[in-house]
Structure 1
Amino acid sequence: MLNALEAFTVVIVGLMVGVEFSVAFVVNRILDALPEDSGQLGRSHGGRMLGAVMPVWYIASLALVAVWAVAGWHHPGAGLVVTAGGLLILSVIMSVLLLVPINDRGKTWTPENRPTDWKEQMNRWERYHYVRVAVIIAAFALLAAALV
């Protein structure tokens, strides 16, 4: 049973990492290359869509890691799992304090109502997001290492 939990957790966290990596290094570059206001409209839509899905994914990933840490406490790699859980907690804290406030503003913007500094706010969001992606990649790597 523990093996199934470990594998399931690594897959769920790995998929989350893949989505966030894609947002950082693929989707945002595509949106930046779109003409006129299309990129900003795409970011607003993405903020609404992913803003609804990602919190559930982050919390579910953290819960799975916590269950793995408890169930596998006396197994090799438990320290790696606990450390990965700490990194996921850090990613949730970063999200709530740094990224969500910007995203909550950005998802309501249209070309008619966006603030004059909207690009600076999006650039700030992207810088925070790069750090968050690095944190969750490290958590994923620790979980993968705990399997070995």
Structure 2
Amino acid sequence: MDVLGVVTVVAVGLLVGVELAVAVFVNPMLDRLPGDAGLAARSDGARVLGRVMPFWYSGSVVLAVGWVVLAWGGAPAVPVLVAAVLLVVAVVASIALLVPINDRVKTWSAGDAPADWRAQVGRWDRLHHGRVALLVAAFALAAVGLLAA
């Protein structure tokens, strides 16, 4: 169970790191690029991360749920259960709110982007900040669960 806890915390921690970097550093830098240069970079990022993140998110949920099952009745169970629920909420929010925008962004290029593309990526960024908050809370609770083990 300790190994599962460590693997879960590492997986969720790395997920938080990537998503936090996108929210705080990468996208703001892309938004400062001149003209439509940021659009091309966001489009490429949407394609690359859009292929990887579903596996990373679902893997993190599976690890957390597995840990809850194994830890049930023990000290780590409650914080890890709440962490798993937050991860599930992040996945549902991603599928319902962020993925539809991401699916549009990954098809855009400088010549065929809609006139309101900045507003659409701005909405994605705001929703992403909320998702990052959920992930940070899930990571913190998983770490508490590891300490309680």
Same fold per superposition (TM over 0.5): yes
Listed as ranges, the gaps of 5+ residues in structure 1 are: none
1:50: which partner in 2?
Answer: 49
1:84 aligns with 2:107: no
Once residues 147 and 90 of structure 1 are traced to their aligned partners in structure 2, the CA distance between those partners, rounded to angstroms, is 21
**TM superposition shift of 1:95:** 0.2
**TM superposition shift of 1:40:** 0.5
**SS of residue matched to 1:21:** helix
Q: Which amino acid aligns with 2:91?
A: V
Once residues 27 and 6 of structure 1 are traced to their aligned partners in structure 2, the CA distance between those partners, rounded to angstroms, is 30
**TM superposition shift of 1:59:** 0.1
2:22: which partner in 1?
Answer: 23
- The count of residues paired between Structure 1 and Structure 2 equals 147
What are the equivalent positions in structure 2 for 1:1-148 lying under 5 Å apart?
A: 2-148=1-147
Once residues 60 and 120 of structure 2 are traced to their aligned partners in structure 1, the CA distance between those partners, rounded to angstroms, is 28
Deviations 1:44-101 (A, max 9, x none): 0000000000011000000000100001112212011111110000000000000000
Of structures 1 and 2, the one scoring higher in RCO (CA 8 A, sep 6+) is 2
Sequence identity percentage? 50
Q: Which runs of 4+ in 1 moved over 4 A?
A: none
**SS of residue matched to 2:109:** coil
